[in-house]
Amino acid sequence: MRPVTPRGFRDVLFEEAAERRAVTAAASAVFAGYGFRFVETPAVEEYRTLEAGAGASWENSAFRMVDLDGSLLALRPEMTLPIARLAASRLSDEPGPQRLCYAADVYREQASLRGEARQFTQVGVELLGANGPSSDAEVVSVLVDVLAAVGLRDFTVGMGTVAVLRALIEAAGAGDAWAAELLAAAHARNLVAFDRLASAGGVEPAVGEALRRVVRIGGGREAIGECRRVADAVGCAGSLDALESAWELLEAAGVAGRVRVDFGILRSFDYYTGLIVEAYAPGLGLPLGGGGRYDDVLASFGAPMPAAGFALSLERVMIALAAQDVEIPVRGLDAVVGGEPEQVARTAARLRAAGWTVRMSATGDAAALDAEAASVGAAWRVLAGQGQAVSADGRVLVIDPVPAPPAEGGER
């Protein structure tokens, strides 16, 4: 048998794996700086949990399985619903708000002919039990700070709200079937179908015009004013108050320069109730990630509370970093130690105790040790018992007593 990696999955080797860990660590430091705490959830959830939280959104993309008890399970397709389930069960008696964060793999089924990945890594936060503009602004601020911390030089965070669209749909009074079809067109960013539905018979003409205009409004704070004028004509301007207040807080925090108001952002899940965010980098045709406010999800789990958050695709962030030629600092090997086995063990232990990263070698030949050090990217090679380390360009470092690892050995 010739082993192969299953379709839609991939192996991640040394350098890329180290860079992924470094990017995750940079994001984690930002999360900690805002007081978010890491949690972990199982890779599988009961399928009814996903149905309760997101309806039929995952019907065609969840990896389903039946366990020996006959329970229908699914690999988690995203992290918002598992964290909501965790909060509604394990944290229901804890005083809030809860600031939770994660870095976890998620899984989505794809048709074989599409050639798409079926495993992704999401890095994100969920702010549970807090409502209003301040919590919305906090979620957006964390997103901006994370993208800056991982090294992206050029990015934009789009911010909008589904509250306006929902208010306009209610004002249209064209029925549930029409509303579902309109939302589906909006989620698919199909403006042709959206415009057709907004102009359909039975839709109040003024509301239809407002619908067509609103999803095309974007810019800075002035975009909120423009949207307010359009919505005010049909009595829906109040749905913008929270967004405008959140923008003011972003300006006070000094992050509004990275944010663009965009009323065309409509995430593909039906559970969003207010704030919507997406992050973009030039040249990447898909969002780096996104999220928003989903105040009704925890109620479906019997623990009603407001909630908002976002998730970034680690894979897309890595692509954007590569496209911007960002060098990710990764701790490499400081030294390869070779020689007589007992001396190698003692020398390697002393170096590690001083903070060096060390690989032990089976060779005592200097030339072979040089070649091995070069092959694994170690800055120095050490022949145990000689009391010195030698770099690839011939520099000598005395290691008796052992100094702290040289800077050039710690990062690349």
Question: What is the rounded distance in angstroms from the CA atom of residue 91 to the CA atom of residue 284?
Answer: 38
Q: Which two tokens stand for residue 53?
A: 């939280």
pLDDT, residue 365, reads 92
Q: For residue 405, what is the DSSP state?
A: P
pLDDT band for position 114 (cuts 50, 70, 90): low
Q: Which amino acid is at 84?
A: A
351 with 335: CB under 8 angstroms?
A: yes
pLDDT band for position 57 (cuts 50, 70, 90): low
Question: What is the rounded distance in angstroms from the CA atom of residue 124 to the CA atom of residue 5?
Answer: 27
Q: Give the mean pLDDT of 16-43.
A: 97
Q: What pTM value is reported for the model?
A: 0.89
Q: Give the mean pLDDT of 246-272.
A: 88
pLDDT at residue 164 greater than cutoff 80:
yes
Instruction: Kindly list the structural domains of the chain, giving each domain's residue range(s) and its CATH number in brackets, ordered by start.
Output: 14-323 (3.30.930.10), 335-410 (3.40.50)
Residue pLDDT, tens place only, 120-132: 999 999 999 999 9
pLDDT at residue 172 greater than cutoff 90:
no
Using alpha carbons, list the distances in angstroms from residue 357 to 329, 385, 399, 410.
15, 18, 14, 8
pLDDT at residue 153 greater than cutoff 50:
yes
Question: What is the rounded distance in angstroms from the CA atom of residue 134 to the CA atom of residue 293?
Answer: 12
- The residue among 306, 311, 294, 271 whose CA lies nearest residue 143 is 311
Using alpha carbons, list the distances in angstroms from residue 5 to 29, 111, 328, 373.
33, 17, 27, 30
Beta strands 64-66 and 72-75 are antiparallel
Q: What is the mean pLDDT of the chain?
A: 90
Residue pLDDT, tens place only, 286-332: 899 999 999 988 898 889 999 999 999 999 999 999 999 999 999 88
Residue pLDDT, tens place only, 198-249: 888 888 888 889 999 998 999 999 999 999 998 888 887 788 899 999 999 9
Q: Which residues contact 205 (CB under 8 A, 6 or more apart)?
A: none
The percent of the chain in helix, strand and coil, each rounded to the nearest 5, is 40, 20, 40
CB-count exposure of residue 58 (10 Å: 0-12, 13-18, 19+): buried
